[in-house]
Amino acid sequence: MISVLAVVLALVVGAVLIAFTNDRVQETAGYFFSRPTDLVGAVWEAVAGAYSALFQGSIYNFRAPNFFNAIRPLTETLTFATPLIAAGLGVGLAFRVGMFNIGGRGQMLIAAGAAGWVAFAVELPAGIHLIVAIVAGLLGGALWGGIVGLLKARTGAHEVIVTIMLNFVALYLIQFLLRTPGALQAPGSNNPKTPPMAATAVFPELFGPRYNLHAGFLTVIAATIFVWWLLSRSNLGFQFRAVGQNPSAARVAGINVKNVYLYAMAISGALVGLAGINQVLGTVTTGFGAGIDAGIGFDAITVALLGRSKPWGIFAAGILFGAFKAGGFAMQAAEGVPIDIVVVVQALIVLFIAAPPLVRAIFHLPTPGTTKGPEIRDVKTRKTNEVVAK
């Protein structure tokens, strides 16, 4: 409920910002006292038009000539959501173990570099080539995340500091490889960009060439099921949750907390790396540069928070943020709304999720574990009678 209401509040505040930045609203505000209805109408037109464009740009376009064109925005939303879900699962898994993985950028870059190199430099049969490229990317992300878990387990280094530093290490390493002939740089080119991915190592299109949605979306569905099973049905997942709740109690119960940190960060890195794999093998197959992460590693933190670090919650949150990304461009093109408004809405969602008491106060919700009104009086009366009787 807090997550849903946080989104509602963010959209309400976003509506206020849309109204304030609209030229027509500013114009009618100048003569508000003479014709107040003009301002109200302008505000309604600005907000309704913006959110209508957001919906038509992310879910269903009512103005399209046919059904196949009308559902194209939905496929764009799922395309944007694919890497967000994968990276969100990795960040959420680390949250469940009590670790804060903000190294998504570095893990994505290393995974993208490994998967991309296999995709354009290695010749393998179709099918096998794609699988090998995916495995290489997963291993790259797991290695980069595992370094964090190893350092925390063996030296007690804080994962926030280590992940921040490794983000820069990965960025400059990939930039160096992109400028090095024979490494990731395209042959005969001076640009810091890779060659195109081989056709045998590219995710196939799900619904044909008219849509950008590719089979990478199926991999994040499989990853969501895997994380759900891992956390809810496996012994290792129980250890993850136990350590996340209380590392000291888990250690007393016989759980090897150091190994849990290592395994958790390795799996987290592999999941975040899956986002980089989807970028280079599905979305940007013509060659990539150092900006292939596109800020997804940091957006994943928001997705994990909104999804409450639960696999299917993260899946839904990723689709929501994918809709924001897909619809934000349509909102800007159709209504002239600044694309930054979408970023502000995303930031507000994080703000409200991080402050549950604020959301409860606005909507007059009870604090978990407490009762309201007559129930409180009944409890107090019963306790008073018990004391008097004693």
**Cα 318 to Cα 313: distance, rounded to the nearest angstrom:** 9
380 in a structural domain? no
234 in a structural domain? yes
Cα-to-chain-centroid distance, residue 234: 25
Cα–Cα distances in angstroms (integers) from residue 240 to residues 160, 220, 268, 326, in the given order = 18, 21, 12, 35
302 in a structural domain? yes
pLDDT in tens, the chain (390 residues): 888 888 888 888 888 888 888 888 888 888 888 888 888 899 899 888 888 988 988 898 888 888 888 999 999 999 999 999 999 999 999 999 999 999 999 999 999 999 999 999 999 998 899 999 999 999 999 999 999 999 999 999 999 999 999 999 999 999 999 998 888 998 888 889 999 999 999 999 998 888 899 999 999 999 999 999 999 999 999 999 999 999 999 999 999 999 999 999 999 999 999 999 999 999 999 999 999 988 898 899 989 988 989 999 999 999 999 998 888 888 887 777 787 888 888 788 878 887 888 888 888 888 776 655 445 445 545 555 565 555
Contact (Cβ atoms closer than 8 angstroms) between residue 274 and residue 264: no
372 in a structural domain? no
The token pair at 80 is: 């944007």
Which long-range CB contacts under 8 A does 325-329 form with residues at least 24 apart?
Answer: 325/77, 325/80, 326/57, 326/58, 326/73, 326/76, 326/77, 326/79, 326/80, 327/53, 327/54, 327/55, 327/56, 327/57, 327/58, 327/59, 327/73, 327/77, 328/54, 328/57, 329/57
Provide the residue range defining the domain that includes 85.
80-319
Contact (Cβ atoms closer than 8 angstroms) between residue 226 and residue 314: no
356 in a structural domain? no
59 in a structural domain? no
127 in a structural domain? yes
156 in a structural domain? yes
How many structural domains are present in the chain? 1
